Structure 1
Amino acid sequence: MNTELSELEQVTQEVKELRTLNRELEAIIESSYDVIYITDKNGVTLKTNSAIERITGIPKEYYIGKSVDALMKRGILKSSVTQKVIEQKRSVSTVQYNYSGKETLITGNPVINDDGEIEKVVTNIRDLSELNELQTALKKANELNNSYKKEIERLKGVTKRDGDVVIASHQMKLIYEMAERIADVDATVLILGETGVGKDVLAKFIYSQSIRAKQGEFIKLNCGAIPPDLLESELFGYEAGAFTGANSNGKPGMLELADNGILFLDEVGELSLALQVKLLRTLQEKEIRRVGATKSKKVNVRIIAATNRNLKEMVHNGEFREDLYYRLNVIPIAIPPLKGRRDDILPLIQLFLQQTNHKYGKDKIIDVKLNDFFYRYNWPGNVRELSNLIERMVITTQGKELTIRDLPIEYKESNNSSLVFTELMTLKEAVEIAEEKVLSLAVNTCHTTYEIAEALGTSQPTIVRKLKKYRLKIKE
């Protein structure tokens, strides 16, 4: 009798210890800020903690006893890490958007029994959205610290010169290193490149680094912006009474005004053949003759020319003098288009945003997805287009944060077209672009999320989640 009582007491004590251990385990699981999700070997939910309610908005009791297959069919799960763990018999990690549209890091680990078989799967789900917000806040704080920002730029290899020049790409570093070397050489420079790549910025930089910056002016003349019949007098000047309507005192031309300095001839390919002859004579003899004058005048001016046209082809077609071409082409510098030096895009964005905020008294910021669009866009208008777009968005956007939703309609269309696929991207990014395009079309034609779900062959909870993710609303 006593033996039986002793065994009963021992069992009772073990039961108490087991209950205590279970309570402690329950408390540990419940206290975790991350979601802890436990299933059996068949993927049926055994236990989860209250953290899942914070991330998904669904009570934890809902999940108990349900298989991950059923949750996927309901659209609550996008894909099952549990299934992958069971199939691969190893730990699996993935990043995905959950039911409520939050970005989460999901890691599943198998529990192996003595026979080497999976007994349970323990999954940890971490909410990355708050971490991303903290990273954004940290980035903003760093940007406000000017000295720290300069250190970051130095470590990244970003070079700033003269306030308006930002170079991060290898190509532009080589170009500006050459510009420094030839700054005090009086040889003629021919800058080649598409419209808007920054040819005038490079010309100003050469001037700023030269001794001529202390001796004379930087004068710019756009040869394509002035009618041909007025361009000669603008370039060479004119004497009093040289033609009807002429100033009674005459007028110095750009070549005279740039004496001891630099004359930047933009769009030099637009010069007429007659003016090409006069310019060639100036380069050869270092002197000019005003319109209507009988005497020439010596000038000490360095010429920097620029064009977006193919001067060699123009020479071949008889549209540009070969001798002038070789006079201008002493030091040729070709600036690549912005799409060919994408490392410059993000630093340029920060420069233009800072300048525009200061100009208009704003404090706008740019979100990650918009920066990504800027990086992938092909910029047919190059740096000038990028600068103008940022200024336009800063002025016209009401909110503090600039997003893809704030892009002008022509850019939104390109964002949803095949244009963005001209550069390599991850499959996830490509799928998201396609999803957003299809959903954008659906919200314009369907009246409810149920109609969209039926039209797209998916569940209504999935549609709700996707619309929230891409910030889309059904039109009334």
Structure 2
Amino acid sequence: MQKWNHFPIPFAIMDDHDKLVSYNQAFESLLTGLGKDKNITDYLQVVPNQSDPNLLMAKITGKDYLVIKKQIKQNENLLVGIETSGVTDLLEALNDLKRHKYELEAIFEHSYDGIYLTNREGVTIRTNAAIERITGIPKHYYLGKNVKDLVRRGILKNSVTEEALKKKKTVSFVQKNYIGNITLLTGTPVHDSQGNIDMIVTNIRDLTDLNRIQAEQIDYLKDHEFQTESPQPKNEYEEKYGIVVQSEQMLAIFETAKRIANFDATILILGETGVGKDVLTNFIYENSDRAKTGKLIKVNCGAIPPELLESELFGYEAGAFTGANRNGKPGMFELANGGTLFLDEVAELPLNLQVKLLRVLQEGEIQRVGGTKPKKVDVHIIAATNRNLHEMVVRGEFREDLYYRLNVIPIHIPPLRDRREDILPLIHLFLKTYNQKYQLYKEFDYELIDFLTVYDWPGNIRELSNLIERLVVTVYQDKIGIDHLPKEYRASEIVGRQTQLSLKEAVEDVERRLLRQAAKKYQNTYEIARALQTSQPTVVRKLKKYNIKVKNE
């Protein structure tokens, strides 16, 4: 200790029994206050709120000392005393600082979103545990690696860090990572005191996971009949009739159908197979006064053999032909008396029956097969076909006078490929319907939904419904993906990728139209999110992406 004799800071060495072994002059000057007959540890106590037992404090001759205890040899401990005023306040401030550091560490590490820090050169300096869940890669893999290298290796498709460094402002975009999760990345520059970028903080949100959780919550709320404080009313057509009407074309068609429902003028519904002609007919009938006075009778003119079609439509008298009922039988027109008769595939009517149908339309009367007297009938006729009747008239395959009698109020239902806004809500409707029907809990991944949204659907709604039912029933896994598509659809999916319009561009086009339609219809982004069955932040981001304004915001 002699070499420390003139050092102004008190030093001492004591053994494991707290006895002084040696000390310097600065420490000796304190012995008067200590009392040589007393043990030095009688004057020391652990610093309040301090977990380190080797950090002690003492009050000697009215002065505060911070005493640091350090083992230097076996059975020997070095004591260093530092005089300070307000040592308790200083140490409490130090403890507060440590506590805040611990809290910030906990927030950083346990955040559900991934947090990714890089320096101004784009080199990763820190990540949190969530990055492993989102990307499937251990967080230590990223440390020290430049984001450019991660892009080259295929870990990242694009780097939000590079964009934030380049633009010197917060940048956000959505991308699918290499394990297939849809992620929202937001890179924010952090500046130093001179205003230069010091680091980039990137937040990574797993939208795939969040949408799954949101869907589960919605299902849970529905199952338990919970209601929010301000329940959002469903679309009128879905609420009352259980039908999807989202596109402008279909909204206009159903509004027209509602206005004409109580007029007895003949309606001709045109459109491809599976577009929903039957559904529109039901809607017209249910909105008419005839729903109270008569039945809706449906006849598929193409499904009944021509030789039986006349008796099915107009009925027959007793003994009209071999095997006929002895009491005769009323036909579809008589059964529909006071109500509505739907003649589906009316273009398949033979020419001889077209004449009899024309008589019903002109005179309001029918004549049974084998009968001699006409019967008056009060029937509203709705006809439908997927063929071009005008061209059939030109070719002599359909009577011109009947064509004009049927074509009083023509309604053309566009194919599903021309109203893609309806596809996504139809997917949700059919998936929910078949899950409930078969008591299953299947869901579609984003890639499959993207394909279903851009596919052309030659069979229209009927084909979409049938495919979804097929997938729900035949796929064993709860998560149904694009690889589960039947062979004929997978071939279309491959061809679709080779077309001039990429899948991404097609999906964006559908998104843009859906959002533009919703922005006109709904009051705010929360209502839009609920109608499109997605999250409000997603709606806000996509509205900004496509530069679409909500009418009341």
TM-score (structure 1 length as normaliser): 0.74
- Whether the 8 Å CA contact 1:38–1:121 is kept in 2: the answer is yes
Is 1:407 the counterpart of 2:452? The answer is no
> 1:154: which partner in 2?
233
In 2, Cα distance between equivalents of 1:354 and 1:54: 29
C-alpha deviation, 1:261, in angstroms: 1.7
Residues 221-230 or 108-117, more deviating: 108-117
What are the equivalent positions in structure 2 for 1:69-468 lying under 5 Å apart? Answer: 69-97=148-176, 103-112=182-191, 117-118=196-197, 120-128=198-206, 130-144=209-223, 154=233, 157=235, 159-160=237-238, 163-418=241-496, 426=504
Give the structure 2 partner of residue 474 of structure 1: none
1:366/1:295 CA distance change after superposition, 3 Å = same
The one-letter code matched in structure 1 to 2:424 is L
* Pair 1:297–1:123, CA change in 2 (3 A): same
Map of 1:28 onto structure 2: 104
Whether the 8 Å CA contact 1:102–1:127 is kept in 2: the answer is no
Report if aligned partners of 1:108, 1:121 keep a CA contact under 8 Å in 2: no
Greater radius of gyration (CA): 2
> Could you list the per-position Cα deviations for residues 35-86 of structure 1 after superposition, in whole angstroms to 9, with x for gaps in the alignment?
5544444444445555555655655555554444444555545444444444
C-alpha change, 1:330 and 1:419, in structure 2 (3 Å) is farther
Aligned partner of residue 137 in structure 1, secondary structure: helix
CA 1:405–1:186: 2 relative to 1, 3 Å: same
> Which digits, 9 at most, give the CA deviation of each residue in 1:340-389, with x for residues without a partner?
22232233333333433343333444444433333222211111112222
Q: Is contact 2:301-2:348 (8 Å) kept?
A: yes
Q: Report 1 or 2 for greater relative contact order, CA contacts < 8 Å, sequence distance ≥ 6.
A: 1
CA change 1:19–1:159 in 2 (3 A) is: same
Deviations 1:237-277 (A, max 9, x none): 22222223333332222112222221111111111211111
Task: Pick closer, same or farther for the CA change 1:246–1:399 going to 2, 3 Å.
Answer: same
Is the contact between residue 29 and residue 36 of structure 1 (CA under 8 Å) also seen in structure 2? no
Matched AA of 2:433: Q
Length, aligned pairs only: 421
Q: How big is each residue's C-alpha offset from its partner over 1:396-425, in whole Å with a ceiling of 9 and x where there is no partner?
A: 222334433433222233223227968776
CA RMSD of aligned residues (A): 3.9
Report the TM-score, using the length of structure 2 for normalisation. 0.65
Output the CA distance in 2 between the equivalents of 1:391 and 1:255: 35
Task: State the 1:285 CA deviation.
Answer: 1.4
- Change in Cα spacing, 1:205 to 1:145, as seen in structure 2 (3 Å) is farther
Indicate how the Cα distance of structure 1 residues 422 and 226 shifts in structure 2: closer, same or farther if over 3 A, else same: farther
8 Å CA contact 1:376, 1:420 repeated in 2: no
After superposition, what is the alpha-carbon deviation per residue over 1:284-325, rounded to whole angstroms, capped at 9, x for unaligned?
Answer: 111111122222222222211111111111111211111111
Identity %: 55
- Secondary structure of the residue that 1:124 maps to in structure 2? strand
The change in CA–CA distance for 1:301 and 1:421 in structure 2 (over 3 A counts) is same
Q: CA 1:419–1:328 in structure 2 vs 1: closer, same or farther (change >3 Å)? A: farther
1:159 aligned counterpart, secondary structure: helix
Q: CA deviation at 1:211?
A: 2.2
Aligned 8 A contact 1:38 1:46 in 2: yes
For the residue of structure 1 that corresponds to 2:397, the secondary structure is coil
Aligned to 1:453: none
Q: Does the CA-based 8 Å contact 1:377-1:420 persist in structure 2?
A: no
CA–CA distance in structure 1, aligned partners of residues 502 and 139 of structure 2: 41
Separation in 2 of the partners of 1:57 and 1:324? 67
Cα distance in 2 between the residues matched to 1:99 and 1:352:
30
What residue in structure 1 maps to residue 527 of structure 2?
Answer: none
More off after superposition, 27-36 vs 392-401: 27-36
Gaps of 5+ in 2: 1-6, 10-81, 509-553
Deviation at 1:110, TM superposition (A): 4.1
* Secondary structure of the corresponding residue to residue 160 of structure 1: helix
Q: Per the alignment, do residues 326 and 413 of structure 1 end up closer, same or farther by CA in structure 2, a change over 3 Å counting?
A: same
Where do 5+ consecutive residues of structure 1 fail to align?
A: 431-476
